[in-house]
Amino acid sequence: MSDFVLFLVLTSVMGLSIFLSLPLVYSKRAQGRWAVGLNAAAIGILIFLLADVFSDVSPILYPNGYVSNLGYATAFAVAFLVAFIGLHLVDRLRPGPADSGGLPNPRALAFIIALGIGLQNLTEGLVFGVSWTNGDLGILAVVFLGFFLQNVTEGFPIASPFLGAPERRSFSLLVGLFLVGGLPTIIGGVVGYHWSNDLFLVIFDALAIGAIAYVILPMFRVAFRPLETREASIRRDQIVYLGVMVGFLLGFVVNAI
């Protein structure tokens, strides 16, 4: 097996590991309190990914503790705004609200989340490709295992808009959304294998951060939607707080392995 073929196989395994979460998120049991908890955990995972992606790009932006390259800083700011404002414009063109409460359409929200995660995974693929060409097996093994495990958790944010609403989802729809989130890992890996530079990483990290920052907002709106009684809202809020904490810690632990 040639070096590139082996690399492509491992990159594909890493990117498509997102499908390992599909049986759980598609399960009919992912309803009620489980749906609330999993949705909250998805928010926690996204918050961690936001911090994780920024930690990847910060050494380039702040190599000495402060901005030393105005070009990189400008590129980061512009790319962030492009992603955030771009998704807002796409969101305005989505179909009407899912219900009379004006909550986001689940399909549109899931697609935006998948797109944001896809941008983040594109950067992960770039890092893996660069690590492979550098030939450091120790770092390569850590990168592969970390990204593999992290990608497993990323199915939950994508599927979160459908949790508790099985009539609004389909198996083929979830598969398509998971591909939107997972395939960029392979694409980024191939690009990183052949070519990469710091400016490229800065731009795509900023796009990922802008996209994730945007998609978290409507997810919080859904998580804290008004319920029939104050008691029900309090119980739901407790589950959300716990779920966000668990999701963040899950992302932290997985990334630390």
Per residue in 141-189, pLDDT (tens digit) is 766 777 787 788 788 888 878 776 655 567 888 899 999 999 999 999 9
Per the CB < 8 A criterion, the answer to whether 49 and 212 are in contact is yes
Q: How far apart are CA 249 and CA 182, in angstroms?
A: 22
What per-residue confidence (pLDDT) applies to 112? 82
Q: How far apart are CA 42 and CA 45, in angstroms?
A: 5
Q: How far apart are CA 179 and CA 19, in angstroms?
A: 9
Q: What is the mean pLDDT of residues 84-112?
A: 70
Query: And the tokens for 99?
Result: 């219900």
Q: What is the mean pLDDT of residues 8-21?
A: 89
Helices assigned H by DSSP within the chain? 3-16, 22-26, 32-61, 70-92, 106-134, 137-153, 155-159, 171-194, 198-223, 230-256
Q: pLDDT higher for 142 or 61?
A: 61
Banded model confidence at residue 204, pLDDT cuts 50, 70, 90: confident
Model confidence pLDDT, tens digit, residues 224-250: 877 888 888 888 899 999 989 998 888
pTM for the predicted model, two decimal places: 0.77
- Whole-number average pLDDT of the chain: 81
What per-residue confidence (pLDDT) applies to 100? 44
Q: pLDDT higher for 221 or 184?
A: 184
Residue position matching structure tokens 């590139």: 4
What per-residue confidence (pLDDT) applies to 86? 87
Q: What is the mean pLDDT of residues 132-148?
A: 72
Banded model confidence at residue 257, pLDDT cuts 50, 70, 90: low
92-106, 169-183, 206-220: which range is least confident on average?
92-106
Q: What is the mean pLDDT of residues 107-115?
A: 83
